[in-house]
Structure 1
Amino acid sequence: MADYAERSDTLAKCGAALWIVAAVGYLILEACAAAGFVPTYSYTRNYISDLGVNSPRAYVMHAAFYLQGILFLLGALLIVGVPDNRRARIFLALVAANALGNMVIGTVHAGPAHRVGAALAIVGGNLAIATGSAVVVSVGARDWYRRASILVAALGLLCLLMLLVNSTTATANLLPDGAWERGSVYSITLWQLTTGAYLLRSRRR
């Protein structure tokens, strides 16, 4: 039993490290693609997908989508292990939806299929935060972590809603489209990064 627990702990640490690599790697690759955008790229006005279409370094952005999707899913599998309850199975299903969505938008760069992929990635990822906050940490985890995770997920989904409102009304409500879209995506990146660090720190103790 001790050997099994040690192996499980090692796998969970590897999963947490993969989440950190996914978050940091995505942001670095996105910045590289943005640096090659012509004439200039705005993080607040341009869509993220513009980097996968109009940037000379579009292939870098495609790689970022794949990196995020694959490592988020692989990390979740290592952290959770064999799901033994309904909440864990739902969490893994939502992470899988995010991974599938990222692979779709990394492959199909415009059109209905691209929009479906974006919806899977954003909605699946933010709902995974809300579910995963009670799955990936120990039972004795501090309440602040779970409350903060729920808040991050709610903000991500709110940003997506505001993006849809902007698209429907064809006007910038409070913030431009790019800012709202990034809010709905960066919520997932932020949760991966902070949760990965939280898991590594807590398991080291």
Structure 2
Amino acid sequence: MPARTKTAGGLLTAGGVVYFAAEFISAAAWTDPPYSYTYHYVSNLGVRGPVETLHQVMNSPLAWVMNTGFFLFGILIALGVLMLRGLHGWRRGVSLTLGLLMAIGGVLLALNPGGGQEAAGQIDYHPIGALASIVSGNVLAVLMGRQHSALGVSRRVGRSMVVLGAIGLIGLPLYLSVAGSEFGLIGLVERVAIYPLFIGQILAGASLWRGRATAALSPRRAPEAARTT
């Protein structure tokens, strides 16, 4: 496979890895009391605080790490989609649009931490960014999964991406139904909507890398096959 495909795979993988790394690092630094993946919102990690809103205390010591992750993940994935080969016509246009929405959503998340402290009459861009990222990211995972053969992604990964995107899209209304409440597993429900889109892009990126490695080995195998026939 061409170097462009390898670059696309690296960018898609990097987008997911950057998000998970930023979340892990900022959550690990929040120790008093410990941050809970099942109870706390993801957005709490980007609020320096201390702020109490949505029935939760937000006080992230490394808020800048999470906000850096928010800023970068969508841009990296959007660039990865831009570098993909095999998508043409409306499929390429839709994929690029979804990638752009992810990038815009991530930037909005980073520049507008989710503390819910906007003055009366001001627009809260944080939930707008969150919805843009979650919806576009999961739809993109489904679309890429359906076009796996054209992209050079394995069939198994393609099917996994479709399932993951569907899980994320189903998880979003479930999360919205409990958002703002005192439900004890609200962080877990939120992650059901978020994690699938990143896992899908990591799988796609890794598959593109493996595909290139296989292609690089095939010329060596050809003479051996010829000798055995």
Q: Same fold (TM over 0.5)?
A: yes
Where does residue 164 of structure 1 map in the other structure? 176
Residues 52-79 of structure 1, C-alpha deviation per residue, up to 9 Å, x if partnerless?
Answer: 0021110000111112111111111112
Range 48-57 or range 134-143, more displaced: 134-143
> What residue is the counterpart of 1:120 in the other structure?
132
Q: How many pairs does the alignment contain?
A: 194
| Post-superposition CA distance 1:44-103 (Å, at most 9, x none) | 10000000002111000011111211111111111248x631012101111111111011
Partner of 1:22: 15
> Residue 45 in 1 paired to residue 39 in 2?
yes
Q: Distance in 2 between matches of 1:189 and 1:151?
A: 13
Determine helix, strand or coil for the equivalent of 2:36: coil
CA–CA distance in structure 2, aligned partners of residues 50 and 193 of structure 1: 24
Distance 1:42 1:139, change over 3 A: closer
TM-score in terms of structure 2 length? 0.77
| 5+ residue gaps, structure 2 | 48-58, 117-123, 215-229
Deviations 1:106-149 (A, max 9, x none): 11113421111100000010011111223464378654443322
Cross-structure match for 2:201:
192
Where does 1:88-107 land on structure 2 (aligned, <5 Å)? 88-107=92-111
Which residue of 2 is the match for residue 179 of structure 1? 188
Q: Is the 8 A contact 1:101 1:121 kept in 2?
A: yes
**Counterparts in 2 of 1:64 and 1:201: CA distance versus 1, 3 Å:** same
Contact residue 18 and residue 71 of structure 1 kept, 8 A = yes
Provide the identity percentage.
32
Say if 1:167 and 1:28 are closer, same or farther in 2 by CA, change over 3 A: closer
5+ residue gaps, structure 1, are 1-5
1:141–1:23: structure 2 CA closer, same or farther, 3 Å change rule?
closer
- Matched residue type, 1:87: R
Render the CA deviation track for 1:170-203: whole Å, top value 9, x for unaligned: 363xx71111111211111101111111111123
Question: Compared with structure 1, are the counterparts of its residues 194 and 143 closer, same or farther at alpha carbon in structure 2 (3 Å cutoff)?
Answer: closer
Q: Distance in 1 between matches of 2:139 and 2:154?
A: 20
For the pair shown, which has the larger CA radius of gyration, 1 or 2?
Answer: 2
Please give the secondary structure, in 2, of the residue aligned with 1:138.
helix
Distance in 1 (CA, whole Å) between partners of 2:176 and 2:22 is: 26
